[in-house]
Amino acid sequence: MGENFTAIDLFAGCGGLSEGLRQAGFHVIAAVEVNKQAAETYAANHKETLIFNEDIRKLDTKKINELLKGERLYLLAGCPPCQGFSSMRRLNRREPVDDPRNDLILEYLRFVKELNPLTLMMENVPSIINYDLFKYVVNELEFMGYYIDYKVVDVSKYGVPQRRKRFVMVGSRISEIKVLLGNNERRTVRDVIGGLESAYNSSDPVHKIFPKHIARIEKMISQIPKNGGSRTDLPEEYTLECHKKKNVGFKDVYGRLRWDDVSSTITGGCLNPSKGRFLHPEENRCISAREAALLQTFPSDYIFPLNIPKTSLALMIGNALPPLFSKIQSSNIFTHIEECYLSRV
């Protein structure tokens, strides 16, 4: 029966959430993603899914209903952007940054109202919980008859080899459902990228993508202690001028990952060591695009474009929902449908 469990992925990015849905057994019939590069990457990896590369605000849900052919939609999943609520955007501000993308959560609600899915899943930044529009959406969903549960969790508790706090919400028309808690399975940087060949002589073109630096920066990186060292360990002569002022900048920048720990959060700056702790534990370089993707738990053969700027590729990888985390939460919903819905029909 599971092969008929249809799902739709809104704000799909390059396909991290859909990869987890697919691995859990759902049939993702459609996805929506406005960014052309991300949509093309999605299409290259999910050939069985129809990707709508357009602004979701202009997409008529009748197009989705045509794909369903009168059948029930089992799961509507999505990660509506709320950049104004990310901790990096807010920094020391209590109030969110005024960003028009914050309102896209209402498009998620519109799709729920018009497609009437059996179950829901939504992922986002943790601070969305304090967002008035989020509270409004939850009230609307509960009024429509959905049992809703949501939590902020750390994906490192689910076997994802990085420290990354995310908000996740699940909902069901069938009966009560809960966000699945992690089993504290721990995978480390070594577990995931320790066995890779050197990026310098790899046959994988995605593994060859990492930034090159001017000689002074290369020299500085070479002086950072292996396996977890950071810029604070550098002798004075190798410290960048911008790092000499006290209480300025993030201490993790130009830091190395630790082999036997999880990585820092893989962000949209993951291919730039000046943006965080993204240096390889041993080699004198930033992690590669493939290593970043693996730390996000994408399959080792996941296709990424080679002809776009590193900044765009890093953003695509860093913004993705880790597929393993998606798979675990999706599998919980899949089991919920099997046990609580199919037994009644």
User: What's the Cα-to-Cα distance from 9 to each of 190, 193, 217, rounded to whole Å?
Assistant: 32, 29, 41
Strand ranges of the sheet holding 6-10, from the earlier edge strand across to the other edge: 50-52, 27-32, 6-10, 75-78, 119-124, 165-172, 147-154
Closest CA to 28 of 41, 43, 38, 40: 43
Q: Is the CA virtual torsion 123, 129, 132, 138 positive or negative?
A: positive
Instruction: Please answer whether residues 14 and 320 qualify as being in contact, where contact means their C-beta atoms are separated by less than 8 angstroms.
Output: yes
pLDDT tens for the chain, residues 1 to 345: 445 899 999 999 999 999 999 999 999 999 999 999 999 999 999 999 999 999 999 999 999 999 999 899 999 999 998 755 544 444 444 455 555 556 899 999 999 999 999 999 999 999 999 988 999 999 999 999 999 999 999 999 999 999 999 999 999 999 999 999 998 889 999 999 999 999 999 999 999 999 999 999 999 999 999 999 988 877 665 555 555 555 555 567 899 999 999 999 999 999 999 999 999 999 999 999 999 999 999 999 999 999 999 999 999 999 999 999 999 999 999 999 999 877 665
As annotated, the active-site residues are: 82
Write down the domain spans for the chain: 2-185+321-340
8-44 in b/e form (b: 16+ CB < 10 A) is bbbbbbbbbbbbbbbbbbbbbbbbbbbbebbbbbbbe
Q: What is the pTM of this model?
A: 0.90
CA 88 to chain centre: 15
* Interatomic CA distance for residues 133 and 249, integer angstroms: 32
How crowded is the C-beta side of 30, counted as CA atoms within 13 Å? 23
Q: Are 245 and 306 in contact (CB under 8 A)?
A: no
Report in angstroms the alpha-carbon separations of 324 from 285, 317, 327. 27, 14, 5
Strands (E), the chain: 6-10, 27-32, 50-52, 75-78, 119-124, 147-154, 165-172
* Beta bridge partner(s), residue 52: 32
- Among positive and negative, which fits the CA dihedral 262, 265, 266, 271? negative
Architecture of domain 2-185+321-340: 3-Layer(aba) Sandwich (3.40)
